[in-house]
């Protein structure tokens, strides 16, 4: 479909409304203090076409991490420095639609980022993770980063071993193994906003849809905003329970056992990441 005759008001676009709602919810949940967190959503050309004039780039930004794999793709992205609290009232400044230019060395800003704004500082992690997730899932669309409080808290008190961390989350709530049977990836502490953390996050995305940055936050992925949000929400709830029970004076008296997790996974037709559960039978 061609993008000529674009007439509709972008503020009416369903994808924009969803982003405004989701970022507001993330802020209300306490995951996105100040400018914490960022979201990027792949938009199909057909979705964007009714709202923009083809070839109508507002400005162009160069990328110091070329992404030829994403050339031509459209993204709805949060602005660097955007307070999620304010996006709902000021989307045109705090959100933007970009298209990766031919060759993947530049971005065309198609809409938004009014007053000179630019995409999130975590764009390297978002773009590189999009590339990897698309290799594994053609329906992949969303990368969502935030500072989910209890997941971050857990990275101070729990050993930073992926299998052990995954199992602790699985044990906290019966939903967890069903929602993320592939587990949770963990990076060492790294400087945010860099190409290096982008590369390491993307490597983890080969195996995981959820990646934790210790003492910082979480990256969730999905086929929709709801899908990525739900994944983070489930891990964060489990981490909240973990933190609650581990600060309880009586200590932990019982957990969901490995055998129980195994029958649970079987009942819901998911395959838990191998090597985490130790079964007695
Ligand atoms: P941005 O405001 O640049 O998106 O950065 C926020 C953040 O969470 C960095 O990790
Ligand atoms: Zn962050």
pTM to 2 decimals? 0.95
* 149 within ligand 1 shell (Cβ under 6 A): no
Rounded distance from Cα 71 to ligand 2 centre (Å): 26
User: For residues 251 and 230, what is the distance between their CA atoms, to the nearest angstrom?
Assistant: 29
Give residue 17 CA to ligand 2 midpoint distance, Å.
23
Q: Is the CB of 36 under 6 A from ligand 1?
A: yes
**If you take atom 10 of ligand 1, which residue's CA is the nearest one?**
192
253-269 pLDDT, tens digit per residue, is: 999 999 999 999 999 99
Residue 241: Cβ-neighbour burial (10 angstroms; 0-12, 13-18, 19+): middle
The catalytic site residues sit at: 122
Domains of the chain in sequence order: 1-120 (3.40.225.10), 122-275 (3.40.225.10)
43: CB partners within 8 A, 6+ apart: 15, 74, 75, 76, 97
Split at pLDDT 50, 70, 90, the class of 6 is very low
Ligand 1 atom nearest residue 216's Cα: 10
For the stretch 39-74, pLDDT in tens is 999 999 999 999 998 878 999 999 999 999 999 999
- For 41-78, the DSSP string reads EEE-HHHHGGGS-TT--SEEEE-SS--GGGTT-EEEEE
Read off the DSSP letter of residue 118: -
d(C-alpha 80, C-alpha 38), whole Å: 8
Q: Does residue 40 line the site of ligand 1, with CB under 6 A? A: no
Q: Is any atom of ligand 1 closer than 6 Å to the C-beta of 215? A: no
- Is residue 166 within 8 A of residue 183, CB to CB? The reply is yes
Cα 268 to middle of ligand 1, angstroms: 36
Mean pLDDT, range 15-30, rounded to an integer: 98
CA of 172 to the centre of ligand 1 (A): 29
Instruction: State the pLDDT at residue 5.
Output: 53
pLDDT mean over 241-249: 93
Q: Pick the atom of ligand 1 nearest to 38's CA.
A: 4
């Amino acid at each position: 479909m061609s993008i000529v005759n674009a007439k509709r008001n972008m503020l009416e676009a369903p994808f924009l409304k969803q982003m405004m709602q989701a970022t507001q919810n993330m802020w209300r949940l306490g995951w996105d203090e100040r400018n914490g967190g960022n979201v990027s959503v792949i938009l199909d050309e057909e979705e964007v076409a009714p709202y923009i004039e083809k070839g109508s780039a507002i400005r162009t930004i160069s990328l110091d991490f070329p992404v030829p794999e994403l050339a031509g793709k459209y993204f709805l992205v949060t602005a660097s420095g955007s307070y999620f609290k304010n996006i709902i009232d000021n989307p045109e400044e705090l959100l933007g639609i970009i298209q990766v230019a031919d060759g993947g060395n530049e971005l065309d800003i198609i809409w938004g980022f009014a007053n000179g704004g630019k995409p999130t500082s975590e764009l390297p992690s978002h773009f590189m993770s999009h590339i990897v997730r698309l290799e594994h899932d053609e329906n992949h669309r969303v990368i969502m980063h935030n500072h989910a409080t209890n997941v971050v808290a857990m990275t101070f008190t729990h050993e930073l071993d992926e299998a052990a961390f995954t199992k602790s989350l699985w044990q906290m709530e019966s939903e967890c193994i069903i929602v993320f049977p592939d587990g949770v990836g963990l990076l060492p502490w790294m400087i945010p906003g860099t190409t290096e953390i982008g590369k390491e996050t993307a490597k983890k995305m080969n195996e995981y849809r959820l990646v934790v940055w210790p003492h910082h936050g979480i990256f969730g992925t999905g086929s929709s905003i709801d899908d990525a949000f739900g994944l983070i929400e489930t891990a964060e709830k489990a981490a909240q329970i973990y933190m609650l029970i581990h600060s309880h004076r009586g200590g932990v008296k019982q957990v969901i056992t490995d055998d129980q997790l195994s029958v649970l996974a079987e009942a819901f037709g998911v395959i838990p990441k191998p090597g985490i559960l130790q079964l007695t039978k």
